[in-house]
Chains A and B, each alone.
Chain A
Amino acid sequence: MTETLTLAKAVNAALADALEGDDRVLLMGEDIGQLGGVFRVTDGLQARFGAQRVIDSPLAESAIIGTAIGMSYRGFRVVTEIQFDGFIYPAFDQIVAQVAKLRYRSRGRVSMPLTIRVPYGGAIGSVEHHSESPESYFAHTAGLRVVTASTPQEAYSTLRAAIASDDPVLFFEPKGKYYTKGEVDRSIVRDLETANVVASGRDVTIAAYGPTVETALRAAIAAADEGIEVEVIDLRSISPLDVDTVVESVQRTGRLVVTHEAPAEASVSSELITSVVERAFSSLEAPPERVTGYDTPYPPSAVEHDYLPSLDRLLDAVDRTLGRRNSRTELDYASVMGAAR
C-alpha cells in the first residue's frame, strides 16, 4: 500500500512507526514536543506518545547527545534532533569523541544505537547557520554512519533502518525538500550502505545525494535531449560510501560527475573521486568533475542560487567530461591566478 506524503511527513511517519513498534524508542530535541519542531516534522508525536517519550529538551546540543548516550547505556534507542545543521557544533565532541568511539572503547560491549536527525542544506532563503552541509565532518569519523535521503520513500525507509541499527547514525534531512511530495510504501526496507541507481545511462555517471539527486535527475532529462545518456546514482550513505556501485557504473560510462551542496575541499566528492580513481583509473575517459558548494562560508541566501549546484552547472560539468564546449573552455587560469598573487 502506498500513500502520498511530503518528505517531512514521511519522516514523521517513520518516527511514529518506530515509537509505536518499540517502547524503548524515545525522541529528544529542542521544540520537538508541543510545537512539533520548527519544521513541524514531529507534529503530533508528543500528543500521541506523551512527553516522556517525545522530550522537549533544554537548549544544549552537547547535552542532547551526551544524555542520549547515558540513556543508550540503559537500552533506550534515542532519536535526537539537532534543530539546524549549523547548530550541531556544540555537540561535536559528544558525537565524535563519545558516540562514535564507545563501541570501540568498550571492545563491543557497549552499543550506541543513537539516531541524530539533522535538517541540512540550503535553498530555503534563510540567515547564517541555517543552510549548511556539515556531513563531511562526521563522515571523517570512524564509528558513525552518515546517511541522507532524496525522496519521501527514502526518508521513511532509511530513517527506519537508522533507528533499528545498533550503530549510531547521523540522518541528514534535506530541509529544502521537506515539502516535496512522493509515494511512500511503508513496507519497503532499506539498508544503510547501498547506493541506488535512479536513472540508467551509458555516457556519464552523476553521483549525488540528498537535495542534489533531484537536480541530477533533471540534468539527465535535459542531457537526453542532446542525445547524452546520464546515469544517476543516489549515494544514500555518505559514510560508509558505496564505492562498489559507483565503480561499476564508471566502468561502463568512463565519466564521473559528483555533486553536493557542501564545499568541495575535503568533502564527499574528494573521497568518492579518490576511491574511483584508485579502483577504476583505467576505465576513466576524462578527469572526474564535481559540482559543489564553493570553498566559502555559506553565502547570504540572496545569492545562494549562485553557490548551490544547479541544473546548468551540472550540465556544464557533463560537457566538460565529454570534451564539449563549456564555461571553462576559454577560461585563462594563468591570468586569473596571476591576479591572485
Chain B
Amino acid sequence: MSITVPAPDPALAAGLDCPLRVLDLDGTRLHDPLLDAHLGDIDESALADLYLDMVRVRRLDTEAFALTRQGHLVLWPPLLGQEAAQVGAARSLEQRDWVFGSYREHGFALLRGADMAEFARIWKAYAHGGWDPHEINMAPSQIIIGAQSLHGVGYAMAAKMDGSDEVALTAFGDGATSEGDVNEALVWASAFQAPVVFLCQNNQYAISEPVAVQSGGLPLALRPTGFGIPSMRVDGNDVLAMLAAGRIAVERARAGGGPTFIEAVTYRRGPHTTTDDPKRYRDEAEVEAWVAKDPIDRVERALERMGVDMDPVRAEAKVRADRLAKEFRAAAEHAEPPAAEEIFDNVYAQPSRRLERQRAEHLAFVASLAEESK
C-alpha cells in the first residue's frame, strides 16, 4: 500500500525559528511578506483603534485585579501582557463568527460586547456565566482546560453543514495543548476540514509549570503540522502580527480551506489568578524582560514614528478606559446576589418533579428559620 504525502506547504508552519513580527520593540514597522499582505488597510487611525482596544482591555484587567484585592470580587485570572494576542485575534473576526474560550478571555468578552455588569457577577461568584452567548456569539467562559476546543470545532462543522461562511475561533493556553481534548479537536478539525481557528496563547506558564513541561522544548506551533493543519508562530505581543495571522486563518476558513493554528508567543505577567504566588516559580528579572516587550508601549512608539500626535490619543484612551473601569467597578460593588432559590433554576429545560420537591423542602426549611427568629 502506498500513500500520497502532500507537498509541504511553505506556510504550513511559519515562524517556527523566530515568531512572526511586524512591529519591533521600538515601534519600527518590520516587513513580513506573509503578514503584510493582510495589513494593507491598517493606517494610523486603524492602529490607534487597536491601541484604544488594548488600553481598555488592560484597564478592565487591572481594575478587576484591584477589585479582587479589595474584596469586591472573589477571584481574577489576569491577562496582563496578553492584550495584543487577544485584541489582534478578536479584531480579525466578524461579529457573526463565534468564540469559544477559556476563563482568561476578558479581551474577547469586552470586544465582543459582553455586558460588564453580568461579567462582573462571575468573578463575584454570583453566577457561573456572564453574558448571553447568542447575543455576542461567544460561548460562556469555561474552566476545564481545553474542553472548549471541541465545542469550537463542532460549531465550525455545523456552520459548514449549514453552507455558511461563518467561522469559529477557540482560544486556550499552552497547558491545554497537553490535553486529550485539544489533540482530538485537531484530529477532527483536520478530518472534517472545519472552518476553525485554534488560538493558543502561549503565555509561558500553566500556573507554575513552564511551557517546556508541556512541549519538551519544541515550539507548540510545530505540533498541528503533524495533523495536517497549517500553523503560525506569532509574536503575541505584536497586535498587528496577531491581527494579520488571525485574518489569514479566518480568510482560509471562510474560503473553505479548513483549520489554522496560531501560537501567540506572549507572557502572563501577573499570577495565574489572584490566589497564585508566582515568586515561588519564577524570577522578577524574567518578568521585567517581558515588560520591555509590552504590547501597548510598542504601538505607542509605532504611532509616534508614524507622526501621530499621541497626546489626544492617550487622552481619549484614558477617558474610555476610565469610563469602562467605573462601569465595571460599580457593577462589582453593587451587584445583587442571586436569590438562594435560584440554585434550583435552569438545571433542566423541563423541571423534574423530584427537583421541584427538593426546592419546596428547602424553601420550607428557610421559612422555618425565619419563623424561629421572630
Contact = CB atoms under 8 A, between A and B. Distances in A.
Interface string B209-236: 0000000000000000000000000000
Nearest to B121: A107
B155 A74 contact: yes
A297 interface: no
A26 B345 CA distance: 29
B348 A71 contact: no
B285 interface: no
A110 B132 CA distance: 9
A192 B158 CA distance: 27
Contacts of A70: 100, 150-158, 168
B184 interface: yes
Contacts, number: 139
A63 B352 CA distance: 29
B128 interface: yes
Contact of A98 (B151, B157, B349): B151
A90 B349 contact: no
Nearest to A63: B184
A292 to B, nearest CB: 22
Interface in A315-334: none
A87 interface: no
Tell me whether chain B's interface is mostly helix, strand or loop, or mixed: helix
A109 B158 contact: no
A193 interface: yes
A98 B147 contact: yes
A109 B153 CA distance: 20
A27 B344 CA distance: 32
Interface stretch (B9-17, B133-141, B297-305): B133-141
Interface stretch (A1-9, A236-244, A253-261): A236-244
Given A63-B184, A66-B184, A73-B139, A107 B346 contact: yes
Chain A: interface residue count, which band?
Answer: 35 or more
A303 interface: no
Q: Which of A68, A70, A103, A104 has the most CB of B within 10 A?
A: A70
Interface string A135-151: 00000001101000000
Interface residues of B, number: 44
A104 B128 contact: yes
B154 A68 contact: yes
B374 interface: no
Contacts of A167: 348-350
A57 B353 CA distance: 37
Nearest to A166: B349
A109 B134 contact: yes
Interface string B28-68: 00000000000000000000000000000000000000000
A21 interface: no
B140 A106 contact: yes
B311 interface: no
Contact of B157 (A71, A192, A240, A243): A71
B180 A69 contact: no
Interface in A36-83: 52, 57-58, 60, 62-63, 65-76
B112 to A, nearest CB: 15
B26 to A, nearest CB: 42
A240 B133 contact: no
Contacts of A94: 147, 150, 181
A142 B156 contact: no
Given A69-B151, A73-B155, A58 B347 contact: no
Interface string B288-325: 00000000000000000000000000000000000000
B98 interface: yes
Given A58-B191, A67-B153, A240-B354, A104 B132 contact: no
Contacts of A72: 154
A312 interface: no
B144 A98 contact: yes
Nearest to A97: B144
A62 B100 CA distance: 17
Contact of A67 (B144, B157, B348): B157
Contacts of B25: none
Contact of B150 (A52, A69, A240): A69
B117 interface: no
Nearest to B350: A167
B158 A240 contact: no
B355 interface: yes
Contacts of A58: 184, 187-188, 191
Nearest to A112: B349
A103 B349 contact: yes
Q: Which of B152, B156, B161, B355 has the most CB of A within 10 A?
A: B161
Interface string B197-210: 00000000000000
A56 to B, nearest CB: 10
B129 interface: yes
B150 A107 contact: no
Given A67-B188, A74-B159, A76-B158, 5 more contacts: A62-B184, A63-B185, A71-B154, A90-B180, A102-B140
19 contacts: A60-B187, A63-B150, A63-B184, A63-B187, A63-B188, A66-B153, A67-B153, A70-B152, A70-B155, A75-B158, A90-B180, A98-B151, A107-B128, A107-B346, A110-B134, A165-B349, A165-B350, A240-B354, A244-B353
